[in-house]
């Protein structure tokens, strides 16, 4: 059975990500970073700039007035959304793969990830609370640990997790931890730190099954809710199914009610196909530009 | 004698969706029933059957989405679903009604108890309209797939690697 140390060495060999992404995430997480710093980081990366402008002018986000500069794109979308789409475009190829260790077919983890990100994106409309902008990217990456761990959950290990889950009546993630000594959320946090994403973002991934609701990390609560919303709309059940804690205190800390939670679910289910299409269009665009 | 060309056709019902048929060779299936509810109905005499997969209990939570997606909310989807069956010749006394889904997260305050609220909404509408369910496989934390085979009227679920007849 693999240890977290061995897995960390495997994570060391993951493809690096463009340096602009953690830089942008750190600027977003820094309360003292000004707009000019964010604009400069985006402008120094041609791919990020192209993505920001294309997204700002997409049918989904554009009110019909064309955007010509990065500054206008940031004003229209927010830097958090630009980072989310840039990371999503990069991660599509990985997250769209099947994860047999979690009974997730091709595209399932990808759609689950986009649904969680879309929920975080729409949270302010229903929760009436400011959501930390790294929540958009953290939600998109919250199950990246499953992508890495899946190949190590073949046969006996997978069966052992199910057995412990049923015999001890544990949430899936606790059974995973009991068998492996760690869980997929922690692995996701290790990956986020390896990529130099800020602690706020890495913690929101690492603790998405164990949220705090002390108001310190609204991104963590948003990721927790995003994951629940994706399950409620039936996307990415996998072997975990609905056997997970859904923390009402996290929902209330964001100002959600049971009724606004349902309204949020309806919006995410309705908009998911068009948002998945935006991400996939973007990722195809980038593949072409690298040829 | 010419061979009967009635190949099995599989109709897949998405989330917030329904399929109804009067074709004997059809099999209807809906996947990933978590907190959503799947209602399978079958009238063997009229050879009418369908599956509804609704996601949320009450359309008043989001009237705009309810208008755009008529099968999303139980409060509006269930009456419309039965109406479709009656239009195809099904009658209430003959209809066999079986239900699956309504799972829940582990949630101490019932804030996220959408599966339970979905089931309550369905029971309320059935009670108001004198509809009786024959079998229900609801609750827990599991995901279910619901099937209806028109030729036999068999309705079953798949969950945790097992098939269970309803």
User: What is the tens place of the pLDDT at every residue in A41-58?
Assistant: 999 988 889 889 988 888
Interchain proximity B114–A252, CB inside 8 Å? no
**Strand ranges for B7-150 from DSSP E:** 9-13, 17-21, 26-33, 37-43, 48-54, 96-101, 135-138, 144-149
The average pLDDT across A4-30 equals 88
Number of domains in chain A: 1
Numbered residues of chain B with Cβ closer than 8 Å to any chain A Cβ: 15-16, 31-36, 55-58, 61-62, 65-66, 68-69, 72-73, 103-115, 117, 141-143
Token representation of residue A213: 């609701």
Distance from CA of A70 to the nearest CA of B (A): 33
Nearest to A237 among B32, B104, B107 (CB): B32
pLDDT at A79 over 50: yes
Q: Which residues of A touch B74 (CB under 8 A)?
A: none
| pLDDT of res. A61 | 81
| pLDDT of res. A215 | 61
The pair phi, psi for residue B88, each rounded to 5°, is -90, 0
Instruction: With both helix axes pointing from N to C terminus, report the angle between A20-29 and A199-206 in degrees, rounded to the nearest 10.
Output: 90
**Strand ranges for chain A from DSSP E:** none
User: What is the tens place of the pLDDT at every residue in A101-135?
Assistant: 999 999 999 999 999 999 998 998 888 778 888 99
The reply to whether ipTM tops 0.85 is yes
Task: Write down the mean pLDDT value for chain B.
Answer: 94
pLDDT at A154 over 90: no
Distance from CA of A172 to the nearest CA of B (A): 10
Contact assessment for residue B118 and residue B57, using Cβ atoms and an 8 Å cutoff: yes
User: What is the tens place of the pLDDT at every residue in B89-121?
Assistant: 999 999 999 999 999 999 777 899 999 999 999
| pLDDT of res. B5 | 58
The pair phi, psi for residue B60, each rounded to 5°, is -65, -15
Q: Which residues of A touch B146 (CB under 8 A)?
A: none
Give me the residues paired with residue B56 across strands: B73
Return the residue of B nearest to A171 by Cα.
B106
What CATH fold (topology level) applies to the domain B9-165?
Answer: 60s Ribosomal Protein L30; Chain: A; (3.30.1330)
Task: Write down the mean pLDDT value for chain A.
Answer: 89
Nearest CA-CA partner of A16 in A78, A90, A83, A71: A90
**CATH code for the domain in which residue A94 is found:** 1.10.3210.10
Confidence of residue A213 (pLDDT cuts 50, 70, 90): low
Interchain proximity B62–A262, CB inside 8 Å? yes
CB pairs under 8 A between A and B: 106
Distance from CA of A33 to the nearest CA of B (A): 37
| pLDDT of res. B161 | 87
**Domain residue ranges in chain B:** 9-165
Q: Which domain holds residue A210?
A: 4-289
Range in A9-13, A128-132, A174-178, A257-261 with the lowest mean pLDDT: A128-132
| pLDDT of res. B29 | 98
| pLDDT of res. A3 | 87
User: Rounded distance, CA B129 to CA B97, Å?
Assistant: 13
């Amino acid at each position: 059975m693999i240890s977290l140390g061995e897995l960390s060495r495997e994570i060391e060999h993951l493809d690096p990500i463009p340096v602009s992404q953690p830089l942008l995430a750190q600027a977003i997480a820094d309360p003292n970073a000004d707009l000019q710093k964010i604009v400069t980081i985006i402008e120094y990366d041609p791919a990020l700039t192209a993505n920001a402008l294309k997204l700002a002018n997409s049918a989904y986000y554009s009110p019909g007035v064309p955007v010509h500069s990065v500054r206008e794109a940031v004003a229209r979308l927010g830097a958090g959304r630009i980072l989310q789409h840039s990371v999503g475009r990069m991660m599509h190829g990985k997250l769209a793969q099947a994860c047999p260790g979690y009974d997730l077919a091709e595209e399932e983890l990808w759609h689950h990830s986009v649904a969680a990100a879309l929920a975080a994106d729409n949270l302010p409309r229903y929760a009436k609370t400011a959501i930390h902008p790294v929540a958009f990217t953290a939600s998109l990456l919250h199950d990246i640990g499953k992508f890495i761990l899946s190949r190590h959950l073949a046969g006996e290990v997978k069966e052992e997790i199910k057995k412990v889950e049923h015999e001890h009546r544990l949430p899936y993630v606790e059974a995973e931890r009991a068998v492996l000594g760690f869980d997929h959320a922690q692995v996701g946090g290790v990956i986020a730190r390896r990529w130099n994403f800020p602690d706020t973002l890495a913690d929101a991934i690492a603790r998405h099954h164990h949220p705090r609701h002390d108001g310190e990390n609204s991104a963590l609560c948003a990721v927790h809710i995003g994951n629940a919303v994706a399950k409620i709309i039936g996307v990415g059940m996998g072997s975990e199914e609905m056997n997970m804690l859904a923390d009402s205190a996290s929902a209330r800390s964001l100002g959600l009610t049971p009724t606004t939670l349902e309204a949020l679910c309806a919006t995410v289910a309705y908009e998911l196909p068009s948002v998945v299409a935006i991400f996939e269009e973007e990722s195809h665009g980038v593949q072409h530009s690298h040829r | 004698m010419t061979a009967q060309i009635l190949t099995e056709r599989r109709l897949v019902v998405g989330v917030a969706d329904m399929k109804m048929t009067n074709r004997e060779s059809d099999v209807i299936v809906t996947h990933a029933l978590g907190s959503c509810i799947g209602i399978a109905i079958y009238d063997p005499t009229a050879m009418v059957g369908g599956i509804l997969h609704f996601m949320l209990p009450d359309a008043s939570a989001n009237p705009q989405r309810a208008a755009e997606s008529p099968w999303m909310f139980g409060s509006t989807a269930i009456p419309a679903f039965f109406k479709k069956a009656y239009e195809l010749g099904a009658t209430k006394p003959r209809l066999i009604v079986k239900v699956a889904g309504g799972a829940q997260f582990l949630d101490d305050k019932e804030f996220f108890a959408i599966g339970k609220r979905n089931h309550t909404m369905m029971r309320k509408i059935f009670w108001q309209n004198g509809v009786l369910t024959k079998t229900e496989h609801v609750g827990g934390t599991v995901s279910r797939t619901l099937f209806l085979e028109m030729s036999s009227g068999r309705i079953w679920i798949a969950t945790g690697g097992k098939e269970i007849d309803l």
